[in-house]
Structure 1
Amino acid sequence: MKDYLCAKRDGLTVLAVFLLLIAPMSLFVSHIELLDSVSDSEGMFYGVLTNSAGTQGFLMTLAVLLIGSMTIGMTPKQRWEKFVQLGIILVIGFAAKTGLKHVTESPRPYTEVLTHQLLIPKPAHFYQLTSSQQDQLIEQVSEQVSPWRTQHWLGETDYSFPSGHTMFVAICLVCFGGVFMENKRYGLVGILLIWGVGVAYSRLWIGMHRPIDLVGSVLFIGLVYAAMPNLSIWSDRVFEWLKLHKRLSTQ
């Protein structure tokens, strides 16, 4: 058990640091006024951050991190283990996100704005509407809310808990951050953490999540990562089979 946890120590350490950094974000939420005007530079900045962990940009982010990890001296076996681990956690994370949203049914913070503007009686009512009706409501409030925010509201009308963007960030931190930490690339770890905190705050700023959504997402990925079996045994078998196949093909 000790060796099992030691193998995951670096990834869990990076994730723990991230959790400590985003936990106090509840102190800043009260300062975020979703009806405030937004400059183009501010809106673009938070939009790029949030999209880097969303459907628009997560593949690009993964590509950059994969290329970065290639510069680190790992054996083919170690690289295979990390990539398989990454794939498994991504599948579990994205599948669990959808399931948990339907179980918790937590309204997104922007539905409170719709309620305050007297467009709906209460936040939960938003989810009883059709997709076109939801879009119409958001467009109605667009006169009071910056389009830098409402464009994201229109694209995400599902429930709030957990945060899929923060889940993706947490996955990148345990997988890539752990590799960088293990190889003493502390500068890369720092850059990854700054990006992660930026994405997390962008979700609050846009009005998509509450701090509990972020913390819950990080804890869930941490549990999934900690519970993952050691892939060394399987990778040993795969590489032994590959060596045997290569030897037989050359005879």
Structure 2
Amino acid sequence: MIKKIFQDKREGLLLLLGFLLIIAPMSLFVSHIDLLSEVSDATGVSFTAITESAGSKGFLITLSILVLMSWKVIGFNREFLAKLFQLGVILVIGFAAKTGLKHVTESPRPYTELLTHQLLIPNPVHFYKLDAIQKEEVINEISQQVSPWRTSHWQGEKDYSFPSGHTIFASICLAFFGGLFMQHKRYGLALMVGVWAICVGYSRLWLGMHRPIDLVGSILFVAAVYTLMPSFSQLGQWVMLRLKYPTHVHR
């Protein structure tokens, strides 16, 4: 039973392992990210587009593209429907758990450390004791020294840091769609999803929104949920039969 679970999800889990092995050492590069550095428009646009492709503004577009690509690869059948059921359940679990874990861990975002260093707040934890208007004013004060390509994201996300919702979404897409593409020997498509996921993870570090541990925790969480997720193959078969039923009636 356990062996079959891992066989069915082997490709997705291997992709998540690769993602983890690349993200984990990124702590070596984070120290070189200067949040006070100047940012060109080209760089700002690139990182914003990447991060928003996994955020509230763009995740539905990304999801739609990946669903259409997978439909093109395997067609509309029981496997496709079962994957959609799996995807829907894990997305709900992932987004709900992200919100819950943030409130449990109460880990300040990295940019609050810069606010502390610039003497705008006494310590990172203090930022979360401010009301919405005070938080906005503090970030506006630092905006004289920090590129708006970064502070615009700070203004949009003033909640806690752990885990990374963007990385949870990217990991889910990598496991499900990347794994599916690997199973059907579409290695180029799987690589494309993998590179996108890595870029999403790095964009969160570059923006000052997360630390490497936030990303690592997100990947491990998705790996655990993905491993325990049932196949839904019988449900997919039942839906296919129901969809074909009217055709038989008309005949």
TM over 0.5: yes
Q: Tell me the equivalent position of 1:223.
A: 224
CA distance in 1 between partners of 2:146 and 2:80 (Å): 46
Aligned length: 250
The equivalent residue for 2:144 is: 143
CA contact (8 A) 2:12 2:174 kept: yes
Does structure 1 conserve the Cα–Cα contact (< 8 Å) formed by 2:74 and 2:80? no
Q: C-alpha separation between the residues in 1 aligned to 2:175 and 2:187? A: 14
Higher mean displacement: 50-59 or 63-72 = 63-72
What is the DSSP-based 3-state SS (H/G/I as helix, E as strand, rest coil) of the residue aligned with 1:180? helix
Whole-angstrom distance in 1 between the partners of 2:244 and 2:165: 39
Q: Which amino acid aligns with 1:153?
A: W
| Residue of structure 1 in register with 2:170 after alignment | 169
- What are structure 2's unaligned runs of at least 5 residues? none
Contact 2:86 2:231 in 1 (8 A): no
Question: What is the Cα deviation at residue 6 of structure 1?
Answer: 0.7
1:1-251 aligned at under 5 Å gives the runs 1=1, 2-74=3-75, 76-244=77-245, 246-247=247-248, 249-250=249-250
Q: What do residues 70-99 of structure 1 show as CA deviations (whole Å, max 9, x unaligned)?
A: 221345111100111111111110000000
Q: How far, CA to CA, are the matches of 2:79 and 2:150 in structure 1?
A: 42
Q: Secondary structure at the match of 2:74?
A: coil
How large is the RMSD of aligned CA atoms in angstroms?
1.3
Q: What are the Cα deviations for residues 195-251 of structure 1, in whole angstroms up to 9, with x where unaligned?
A: 11111001000000000000000000010000112212333333344455653x336
> What CA distance in whole angstroms lies between the structure 2 residues aligned with 1:230 and 1:148?
41
Amino acid at match of 2:231: N
Amino acid at match of 2:152: Q
Give the whole-Å Cα distance in 1 for the aligned partners of 2:158 and 2:145.
19
Tell me the TM-score normalized by structure 1: 0.96
Query: Structure 1 stretches of 5 or more lacking a match?
Result: none
SS of equivalent to 2:143: helix
Hey, which bits of structure 1, 4+ residues long, moved more than 2 A? 233-247
Q: Matches of 1:190 and 1:230 in 2, distance apart?
A: 24
